[in-house]
Amino acid sequence: MAQSSVVAIANQKGGVGKTTTAINLGAALAMDGHRTILIDLDPQGNASTGLGIDVEQRNKTVYDLLAGPESLEDCWMPTPIQNLRIVPATPDLSSADVDLAQTKDRTRLLQRKLEQAPQGSIILIDCPPALGLLTLNAMIAADGVLVPLQAEFYALEGLSQLLTTVKHVRQSGNPNLRVNGVLLTMSDYRNNLSQQVEADARATLGDLVFPTVIPRNVRVSEAPSFAQPVLLYDPASKGSAAYRQFATEFAARLKLSKEEA
Ligand code: ADP
Ligand code: MG
């Protein structure tokens, strides 16, 4: 049986497309028959909201998963997409750094619980915009890191800090952690700066940068207010097409095999 694959979607900058990528990559993989679990690890809970999980419905959350006896199965919820489950987050997660500071093995709490995932699952972790205890838990639990990079001026500078963190995690507890790749997001092909950032990223990072670039697309930004992935909200949009194409590349790069839920 195929092993599970755990991917931390991380960048300490906010607003670069982590959550949008988690939702739409998750949706595209699930629609393609991959058993997919999204872990909402951001206290803002945007991935939960974006997949139509109302705050009142969030009985068991990722906080319970980290801090309590709850199993993965106790905490996951179905989404409007078959094969896609989510462990939701609520704002109480923002105190996790402090609450868990004295807990034994506090960087391995998520890893322990994700070991319960069914064989062959693909688990995407939507990280908060910081390199604190939550992101550390994600990186310790993960096989790889997917880095969304917004095509703007300081994008590459923030990246070196993230790569340093990945290096530390490799040395301190997860020697097999890889960088799966960098996904350029919110690119505007009419804008010279977007093109320059893309050229710089490809020159510096080579094949680490995925061939597909996600364009800035108004349908992508509208979808969350309809509590849907853009793949459901407007399947014919450019944003949907880009995320579907990216999901295919991503599955090929990770050599994901399909095991229907
Ligand atoms: P992060 O999780 O890194 O903070 P988000 O995924 O929440 O970033 O994206 C930040 C904002 O940009 C959100 O309002 C989102 O709807 C919008 N956005 C993300 N990707 C696109 C895109 N390709 N086109 C247009 N808007 C986008
Ligand atoms: Mg986010």
- Quick: pLDDT tens for 102-140: 999 999 999 999 999 999 999 999 999 999 999 999 999
**Ligand 1 midpoint to CA 221 (Å):** 6
Question: Residue 173 CA to chain centroid, in angstroms?
Answer: 21
**CA atoms of 208 and 210, how far apart (whole Å):** 6
Ligand nearest to the CA of 41: 2
Phi and psi dihedrals of 176, rounded to 5?
Answer: -95, 5
pLDDT at 261 over 50: no
List pLDDT tens digits, range 148-197.
999 887 888 889 999 999 999 999 999 999 999 999 999 998 888 889 99
Q: Tell me the CA–centroid distance for residue 185 and ligand 1, in Å.
A: 8
Kindly state the percentage of the chain with pLDDT values over 70.
98
What spacing in Å lies between the alpha carbon of 20 and ligand 1's midpoint?
Answer: 6
Best of 13, 20, 152, 162 to mutate for ligand 1, by most ligand atoms within 8 A of CB? Answer: 20
Q: How confident is the model at residue 96 (pLDDT cuts 50, 70, 90)?
A: very high
Q: How far is the CA of 18 from the centre of ligand 1 (A)?
A: 7
Share of the chain above pLDDT 90, in %: 89
Q: Of ligand 1's atoms, which has the minimum distance to the CA of residue 22?
A: 6
Cβ of residue 22 lying under 6 Å from some atom of ligand 1: no
The response to whether residue 20 sits with its C-beta less than 6 Å from ligand 1 reads yes
pLDDT band at 1 (very low <50, low <70, confident <90, very high): low
Chain segment 14-56, per-residue pLDDT in tens: 999 999 999 999 999 999 999 999 999 999 999 999 999 999 9
Residue 97's SS3 state is helix
CA distance 256 to 33: 11
Average pLDDT, the chain: 95
pLDDT of residue 215: 97
Question: Does the C-beta of 23 come closer than 6 Å to ligand 1?
Answer: no
197 C-alpha to center of ligand 2: Å? 22
Listed by start position, the domains of the chain span 5-253
Q: Is the dihedral of CA 239, 54, 126, 29 positive or negative?
A: negative
ipTM surpassing 0.90, yes or no?
Answer: yes
- Fold classification of 5-253 (topology level): Rossmann fold (3.40.50)
